[in-house]
């Protein structure tokens, strides 16, 4: 963060398209002169360049990029933006953005569409994309601080070229495949616009005052730990206990991302298979045990509400279907699927290593996201589950997974945080609860 002021964020909106359509509202300049048409079509050229044209006959070409620079208040719309990439709610929508539109050509002759935008404006959209603006104010403020901290920690790491923290990782030995997915794997921009980084759906849906006010009232406010900005992670619902960082990503102790009990009662960390099993099959009064549909409607975006019960859930698989899914996702054939055996769990009950037993092979898979990926056509809600086998001899007819929570479980539990705000907890109390030992501080005016 050069100069110590508000940074600009480069957000990757689309990648790999040959052509992108959209239109402009307000004033934009290109190479210093005003671009006078509303509609535009951007296309990649085979040599890695970019060509922009409009229905009125305006054209521009860039050897590797073009920048349409927005003025204060001007907006641009893009057609067919994919949101929820590879999650169960994936869809395409028209999206509206503020800031600059940067079009880059890639050596493969495809387009990379980037939105450059001041960090605080970006945050308004993130908060409004992740949650509903009607959500309780103290919760939206806590979310703004967590999202800002996460992003600034990432920008600082990129500036220092310290790409070690948060990298992808893998450990493959014999019949064990353990993978985790970092977040700094974007070439050419800081963050993508999807759940992989933070949900950013432009400014078109920032309609109420909720998100904007929450961001304005916390401007420049971040969480610090040991003098560093916290890499403040968050997820949808922990299931009653949050998870340790090292059980989801690289094996490193992060003091402010350690497991906490998510309720007024103290739920101790689960130790061993029996405790985890009892916990997942129980229905404890955690903050994120929220089934009040009216209240959920004020917190979660509509597409998240398509997931009916995420605190405790159940998935039933016909054995053959599950064999097909695992083969497709893992690239390995297991033959007749005999059992799924948890070998190691974290304090929230999330499985870190799972043994998949088939007639042709047996493989141990981890960590949590890889397990969720292998056991679902999109992603299993979480890796905190117990397995029941029904019918059949040797290999069962059906597998039933009873699960808890939604997401990786590390850091702030979004539903739990919102429920805390409803019960009267302040932004600061919410942050203290989910990020133990972190302290809030304003780092730019």
Give the binding site for Zn ion (CB under 5 A).
192, 196-197, 238, 262, 288, 413, 416
Q: How far is the CB of 312 from Zn ion (least distance, A)?
A: 12
DSSP label at 1?
A: -
* CB nearer to Zn ion: pick between 99 and 409: 409
* CB nearer to Zn ion: pick between 231 and 323: 231
* CB nearer to Zn ion: pick between 190 and 323: 190
Residues paired with residue 51 on neighbouring β-strands, in sequence order: 43, 61
* CB nearer to Zn ion: pick between 238 and 246: 238
Q: How far is the CB of 287 from Zn ion (least distance, A)?
A: 5
Q: How far is the CB of 138 from Zn ion (least distance, A)?
A: 16
* CB nearer to Zn ion: pick between 22 and 416: 416
* CB nearer to Zn ion: pick between 154 and 203: 154
CA distances from 441 to 109, 149, 221, 228, 392 (A): 45, 10, 5, 11, 59
CA distances from 227 to 149, 151, 154, 441 (A): 13, 16, 15, 10
> Six-digit token pair at 50?
């970019």
Kindly give, in sequence order, each residue whose CB lies less than 8 Å from that of residue 319, ignoring residues fewer than 6 positions away.
336, 337, 392, 395, 396, 397, 398, 399
What is the rounded distance in angstroms from the CA atom of residue 262 to the CA atom of residue 407? 15
Look at the alpha carbons of 405, 408, 414, 417 in this order and tell me if their dihedral is positive or negative. Answer: positive
Q: How far is the CB of 139 from Zn ion (least distance, A)?
A: 13
What is the rounded distance in angstroms from the CA atom of residue 124 to the CA atom of residue 120? 6
* CB nearer to Zn ion: pick between 88 and 196: 196
Q: How far is the CB of 349 from Zn ion (least distance, A)?
A: 12
Q: How far is the CB of 197 from Zn ion (least distance, A)?
A: 3
**Half-sphere CA count of 264, side-chain side, radius 13 A:** 6
φ, ψ for residue 30, nearest 5 deg: -130, 115
What is the rounded distance in angstroms from the CA atom of residue 426 to the CA atom of residue 434? 13
What is the rounded distance in angstroms from the CA atom of residue 77 to the CA atom of residue 66? 16
Q: How far is the CB of 188 from Zn ion (least distance, A)?
A: 12
Q: How far is the CB of 434 from Zn ion (least distance, A)?
A: 9
At residue 208, the 3 state secondary structure works out as coil
Inter-residue contact 109 to 44 (CB < 8 Å):
yes
* CB nearer to Zn ion: pick between 96 and 414: 414
């Amino acid at each position: 963060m050069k100069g110590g002021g508000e940074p600009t964020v480069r957000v990757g909106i689309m990648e790999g398209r040959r052509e992108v359509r959209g239109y402009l509202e307000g004033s934009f300049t290109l190479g210093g002169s005003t671009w006078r048409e509303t509609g535009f079509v951007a296309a990649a050229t085979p040599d890695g360049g970019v060509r922009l044209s409009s229905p009125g006959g305006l054209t521009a070409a860039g050897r590797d990029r073009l920048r349409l620079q927005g003025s204060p208040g001007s907006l641009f719309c893009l057609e067919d933006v994919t949101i929820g990439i590879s999650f169960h709610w994936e869809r395409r929508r028209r999206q509206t953005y503020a800031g600059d539109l940067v079009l880059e050509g890639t050596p493969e002759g495809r387009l990379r569409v980037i939105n450059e935008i001041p960090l605080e404006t970006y945050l308004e959209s993130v908060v409004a994309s992740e949650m509903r603006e009607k959500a309780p104010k103290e919760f939206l403020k806590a979310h703004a601080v967590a999202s800002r901290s996460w992003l600034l920690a990432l920008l600082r790491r990129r500036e220092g070229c310290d790409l070690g923290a948060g990298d992808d990782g893998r450990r493959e030995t014999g019949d064990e495949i353990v993978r985790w997915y970092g977040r700094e794997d974007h070439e050419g921009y800081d963050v993508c616009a999807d759940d992989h980084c933070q949900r950013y759906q432009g400014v078109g849906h920032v309609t109420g005052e909720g998100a904007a006010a929450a961001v304005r009232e916390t401007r420049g406010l971040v969480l610090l730990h040991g003098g560093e900005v916290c890499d403040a992670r968050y997820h949808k619902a922990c299931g009653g206990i949050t998870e340790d960082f090292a059980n989801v990503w690289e094996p490193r102790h992060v003091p402010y991302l350690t497991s906490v009990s998510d309720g007024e009662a103290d739920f101790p960390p689960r130790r061993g298979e029996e405790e985890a099993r009892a916990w997942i099959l129980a229905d404890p009064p955690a903050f994120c045990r929220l089934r009040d549909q009216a209240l959920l409607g004020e917190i979660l975006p509509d597409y998240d509400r398509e997931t009916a019960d995420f605190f405790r859930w159940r998935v039933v698989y016909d054995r053959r279907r599950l064999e097909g899914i695992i083969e497709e996702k893992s690239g390995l054939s297991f033959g007749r699927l005999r059992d799924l055996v948890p070998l190691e769990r974290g304090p929230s009950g999330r499985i870190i290593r799972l043994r998949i037993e088939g007639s042709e092979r047996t493989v141990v898979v981890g960590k949590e996201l890889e397990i969720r990926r292998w056991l679902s056509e999109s992603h299993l809600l979480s890796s905190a589950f117990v397995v029941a086998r029904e019918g059949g001899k040797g290999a069962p007819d059906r597998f039933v997974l009873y699960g808890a929570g939604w997401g990786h479980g590390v850091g702030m539990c979004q539903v739990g945080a919102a429920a805390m705000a409803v019960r009267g907890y302040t932004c600061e109390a919410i942050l203290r609860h989910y990020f133990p030992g972190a302290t809030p501080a304003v780092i730019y005016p």
